[in-house]
Amino acid sequence: MRVGRYEILEVIGKGASGRVARAHDPLIDRIVAIKLLPPEFSRGELREAFLKEARVAGRLSHPAVITLHDIGVDEATSTPYLVMEHVEGLPLDRVLAKGSIPFPRACAWTAEIACALAAAHRTGVIHGDVKPANVLITEANRVKLTDFGMARLSRRDSLDSSLLGTPAYWSPEQIAGKPQDARSDIFSTGVVLYEMVAGQAPFQGESLQALCGQILSANPLRLSHLIPSLPGTLDAVVERCLAKQPAERFSDAEQLAEALYPLARRKAEEPAQVPPPKPSLRQRLRVF
């Protein structure tokens, strides 16, 4: 199967906004990742929206952002597609399926996410859907953030434009249908950090209404309540990220990264107990 000039090798992932495939670019002779979007995005206003959002995402350049190489619409199948760098690794949601993350590593990964967001925010781009499925962990344990602009694109094809993204990671203003800015991404990033360390989401509900109610009015248990060995400074960072009012959060993603890097350098393990010195030969002989 071909999409544009690209030869599809295998589908490697599926999500709400489309499928991701590993593909071969015969022109440059390299392996790429292609996101295949629904055919609806190839027609009318949605086609123009798709091209516009993709061009915006294509201008982003940062080591922690998946590089976008090409965009297009396959005329034979009416399939819009995004061609991105292919990176070996696992989405964070699959990493979390194996268990929680030691807090220094979780802080390091979150700091990288924050740096990627800061670069995007400086160009006026809000991600709008920060969640584990959009965070790739490479084989070198580094972060690659993907899907910039796709949440806004999906909104144009949604009956409810205010509820955009993935429910567990929505910010309060997102639920209320209020304007979003960089601090909305910071809230979602705080949810991801909490989940990495605790192994569970900070806000939970048996229904969408219950979940939204939690996000709007409930304060999650402190991480140090769940894991007493965690430092209080980590609680303070998470609580500031998850503040209900945007004005009470970090003012920008760079501030969040600066707060996380010292925590990333701390040791997760308790100090090893030093064994008592062995008795000398003379001491042992005194026993007899």
Residues near 120 by Cβ (< 8 Å), separated by ≥ 6?
60, 62, 65, 126, 127, 148
End-to-end Cα spacing for the chain = 85
In DSSP notation, 153-171 reads HHHTT-S-TTS-S-GGG--
E-strand stretches of the chain:
2-3, 6-15, 18-25, 30-36, 68-74, 79-85, 89-91, 135-138, 143-145
| Active-site entry in 29, 74, 93, 129 | 129
229 class by beta-carbon count within 10 Å (0-12 exposed, 13-18 middle, 19+ buried):
exposed
> Quick check: is 252 catalytic?
no
Question: What H or E segment, with its residue span, contains residue 204?
Answer: none
List, by residue number, the catalytic residues: 129
